[in-house]
Amino acid sequence: MTNKKTYKIIFYNDEDIFEIYASHVFPSELYGFIEVEQLLFGEKSQLLIDPGEERLKNEFNDVKRTYIPMNAIIRIDEVEQQGVAKVTGSKGSVTKFPVGGKIDN
């Protein structure tokens, strides 16, 4: 019996933070990208529908493989069991790191 690995991938997408689950994660042949295959989402038979997970299901509908830029990755964890995919940090709640310019004191 083989244990199926599950990975939790947290990454920036525009101004949102996506948390997704997948069975396969590895460096891509495309330089600077992580390749993610077999995205995992909750069962459709659930009575309660999480709008964040629904948004991600729609975003990744029919996606066989996705490539995420390495600089967008926050962290990748191997987890015991799949959690709920979600979107956090919706528009405007993530503060960008200041680049250049004058620092006000």
Question: How does pLDDT run across 63-75, given as a tens digit for each residue?
Answer: 889 999 999 999 9
The secondary structure of 14-27 as a DSSP string is TTEEEEEEEEEEEE
Distance CA 50, CA 87 (A): 10
Question: How does pLDDT run across 7-56, given as a tens digit for each residue?
Answer: 999 999 888 899 999 999 999 999 999 999 988 887 655 556 667 677 78
The answer to whether the predicted template modeling score (pTM) of the entire model surpasses 0.85 is no
pLDDT, residue 49, reads: 63
SS3 69: strand
